[in-house]
A and B are shown apart, each in its own frame.
Chain A
Amino acid sequence: MASYSTVSLPTVTTIHKTALYELHIELGAKMVPFADYQMPLQYSKGIIHEHLHCRNQASLFDISHMGQCSLKGSSAAIGLEKLTPAIISRLGSGRQQYTVLTNSDGGIIDDIVVTRLGQELTIVVNAACKEKDFKHLRKQLSNDCQLQELSEHALLALQGPSSSHVLQQVAPEACRLQFMQACRTEIDDIPCMISRSGYTGEDGFEISLPNRFAEKMARILLNFPEVEPAGLGARDTLRLEAGLSLYGHELDEKTTPIEAGLSWLIKNTHQSYPGAGTLLNQMQNGTEIQRVGLLVEAKMPVRENAPVFDNEDKLVGRVTSGSFSPSLGRPIALALIDTEAAVIGATLFTRVRNNLIKLTVCDLPFVPHRYHRS
């Protein structure tokens, strides 16, 4: 900033780089700002190619912008359990749980993944929610629970049907994991935590490791002929096809997990977390709105915030994510709409630039998940 300034300026957002920034540039990435990070939107072959490559072989994503932290202390699991609908105290070592941090209205502060290895819990949170989440956790967890931000850690995702064949050659023990299991291991002497998880709908792994080894690890994986780099553009179309919600789109502080299609996260036996009363009530009595999948019956993509109407032209909701589906070769969307209108097979409508477009409410996911479960 200009040094002559004498007034205090609003906080200037720093644009961070991940440990793989130089590698992205070398690989021809188009970099874009995302949640205060310079991230690869795509590489030279483009989003559609990267998307299909992930569905057919294996793709490497840099997701180091996401927040990682560890929770230690005897009260960590019990403490975290009071902030989420997940029964963290019964999460076994080597297991992962997808859940949400809720507010007192049952709205979603963030969607997170909790992993337990021995007595230690690690949490992965959304990049844009990092500060908010860590502040919330520090405030709510008791003093004998230590939260340590893993800001010196990178996170790589290797996703796609060939991922396990690749990892078999460098970390065979990781290939024994089932979906949502994790272990600590080494790849070429690099210490890392590997989990069998991801957000593409494909079998795949996420690898957390110290920043200083990230580039070496990425190069080891990219060296396999099956593996190509993929950016955030493909990550978004892959998760959309997999019917997976994205924070800030389907999920936010005003939307409950029940409305957002995450009622499977709620257990009747766990009632002591913020908003539990509201959520259990919604489980029993339903919600006024709900998340649905929409097949767009036109070639024109329908984007976020497009209005959704019923056949009497009544506004019933809005699109929360919309894009072209490379696997299906047509536009698809997720929307939050009135429950009355959320009937599988029903015809709804939207308008894009004065074009009336037909939408068909459909089952999710758009493209079947292929997670590795025994």
Chain B
Amino acid sequence: MKHVRGWRDALAVLGFLSPALLLVGAFTLWPAVWAVVQSFTNRALTGIGAQDPSFVGLANYQRLLSDGDFFGSIGRTALFTIASAVIGQTLLGLAVAYLMAERPGWKLRMTPLFAAVFLLPLAVPETVAALAWASMANGTEAGLLNRALDLAGLGPVNWLQDHAMATVIVVNTWRGLSFAMVLFAAAFESVPTSVLEASMVDGATPWQQVRRVTLPMLRRQILIFLLLTVITTVGIFGLVYFLTRGGPGSATQLIGIYIYEVAFRFFEIGYGSAVAVILLIILTAFGLYYVRLMREET
């Protein structure tokens, strides 16, 4: 590696970095700053706030404090994230990955084939995934899920009307579970065989082996995956919006959907920016922890 000495080197480095810097600066950093600035205004897309937005101080934030829809969307986002990202994807993913991974005395066949099939839900665009589930979870008797229920003598259930939140949780678990499984399976296999064999010689039961040897060794990797999937899930939009548009009522109105509705359906840019700032703060908190974990690597 070359140490930068003199203005020529400095200029070269700056030149190399500038396209990436410009892109990130113009379309992520600047919008983040701009969100904060606008959250103190009454800017709108129609009416007086469109022609002449003015500074309103903390009015938008005061309004947030008494906005039931806002707190509702935060609560739903928390529920959605814990159920689909933490329990659905990460915990379930760990369990199934443990089945797939090879270790002394345990080897399943066709695991690469399984992995390829498992990854399909993630490989397709979220709009197609949502469309496929719209058919699958159709509330009439002819919907595929209801036909399966019918075989058991149950149903029909109006999934997207009566159990919309549960349905989108299942859909998001379905989409991300595969990725967790495949990554964790690789992680499990990275644990040295000798360590596992040593613990077996010492008389550890399989459960003790997992709890005392395997999981502690993979702690950091699991934590990083958990953080990334939580961050992605908190910021989700397309998959849920395509399926339910936040409804029925506001049953699946997650924070991302709420921001979109406030800004682009009710045209309140200033207020929408204030909600976005709250989301940015939440994500930054997770992000700082993520960066701290990754810091040891660089």
| Chains A and B bind each other | no
- B interface residues, Cβ below 8 angstroms from A: none
